[in-house]
Amino acid sequence: MADTENGNAGSPGGGPCFKPTVRRWGTALIDAAGRARSQRRGGVGHGGVPFEVLTTPSRLAVLTLLATLAAPTPAPAQLGARDSVVYRVSPISRFEVKTGKAGLFGFAGHEHVIRARGFSGCVMYSPNAPSLSRVEITVPADSLEVLTPPDTAEIRKVTEAMRTDILRVEQYPTISFTSKTVTAVDSGFRLVAELTLAGQTREVPVDVRVAIGSDTLRAWASFAVKQTDFGIKPFRGGPAGTVRVADRVTFAIEAVAVRVP
């Protein structure tokens, strides 16, 4: 992730996180004045007469204030970044993948719900400049587990195939979701995000509903992708491969994030 004015810091969960830095001009001005000490400055005037001027901390503060007022006003984007709020994704959030079934004998197969047992992420929200907001979620690929159908033997078979043949978790250990653009809309936000799956990255459009409280942020989103767009060959089994998982899969995210102090 590119560095921003807000800076980056590692989160306890191992994923990246944003740590905003708020710069207050008044505080900076007072600090500058407090650190300054009286200085003697001099020179030679007309007629070769030497002179000396005592510059006091208060005078330095006034000069600094005048210089600050004369400086260009920060752009709205800069102000929005400084006013941003950072939230860390909570473990109670849900990240699921839902597959369909396809094929001539698709009725003999099953739809599967796959859930991530571990993931991390952060949201940087800029209320005064929503387009500067950012979202990032990282999922360990080997944390994905098949939940349905309630058939232990099939769950083991599908889970093993998913990890070794489809996701190749040893070669590609993480799945990541990172926003590129954020646009405020009536229903919430519209994102264009980069989804990295099995080592391949593709852009996906995502509509997100959001509820923002004083210290928490909740978000709901779902989007569909084709496995073949990521170089993944959909799972196929049964007699002569007549039972297979559909190419199109749906990601469903229900995120709960807590404000970082």
Q: In the chain, what are the domain boundaries?
A: 25-76, 83-259
Instruction: Summarize the confidence of residues 73-80 as an average pLDDT.
Output: 48
Cα–Cα distance measured from residue 96 to residue 244, given in angstroms and rounded to the nearest whole number: 20
Q: Is 104 left (phi over 0), alpha (psi -120 to 50) or beta?
A: alpha
Instruction: Summarize the confidence of residues 109-115 as an average pLDDT.
Output: 77
Please, what is the average pLDDT of the chain?
75
Measured in whole angstroms, the distance separating CA 110 from the mean position of its chain's CA atoms is: 33
**Residue 197: partners with Cβ closer than 8 Å, 6 or more residues away:** 167, 175, 225, 230, 232
Residue with more model confidence, 218 or 243 = 218
Residue with more model confidence, 95 or 37 = 95
Cα–Cα distance measured from residue 14 to residue 205, given in angstroms and rounded to the nearest whole number: 26
Residue 256 tokens read as 């709960």
Cα–Cα distance measured from residue 8 to residue 57, given in angstroms and rounded to the nearest whole number: 36
pLDDT value of residue 235:
67
- What band does 255 get if pLDDT is binned at 50, 70 and 90? very high
> Has residue 52 got a pLDDT over 80?
no
Q: Residue 62 pairs with which residues in a beta bridge? A: none
Cα–Cα distance measured from residue 100 to residue 204, given in angstroms and rounded to the nearest whole number: 20
Single out the residue of 203, 209, 208, 199 nearest to residue 180, CA to CA.
203
**CATH of span 83-259:** 2.40.128.110
User: Are 111 and 246 contacting, i.e. CB atoms less than 8 angstroms apart?
Assistant: no
pLDDT (tens digit per residue) in 140-199? 999 998 887 666 777 787 788 788 888 899 999 999 999 999 999 998 999 999 999 999
pLDDT value of residue 100:
77
pLDDT (tens digit per residue) in 125-142? 999 999 999 999 999 999
Cα–Cα distance measured from residue 105 to residue 73, given in angstroms and rounded to the nearest whole number: 67
Instruction: Summarize the confidence of residues 240-248 as an average pLDDT.
Output: 66
Placement of tokens 């007699």 in the chain:
239
Cα–Cα distance measured from residue 20 to residue 181, given in angstroms and rounded to the nearest whole number: 19
Give first-to-last CA distance, the chain, whole Å.
22
**16: helix, coil or strand?**
strand
> Has residue 252 got a pLDDT over 60?
yes
- What band does 30 get if pLDDT is binned at 50, 70 and 90? very low
Task: Count other C-beta atoms under 10 Å from residue 164's C-beta.
Answer: 11
User: Are 58 and 37 contacting, i.e. CB atoms less than 8 angstroms apart?
Assistant: no
Cα–Cα distance measured from residue 172 to residue 24, given in angstroms and rounded to the nearest whole number: 43
pLDDT value of residue 237:
59
Instruction: Summarize the confidence of residues 45-62 as an average pLDDT.
Output: 54
pLDDT value of residue 240:
53
The DSSP element (H or E) to which 202 belongs, if any, is strand 200-212
pTM as predicted = 0.66
15 by Cβ neighbours in 10 Å (0-12 / 13-18 / 19+) ranks as buried
Task: Give the chain's length.
Answer: 261
Placement of tokens 């003999």 in the chain:
108
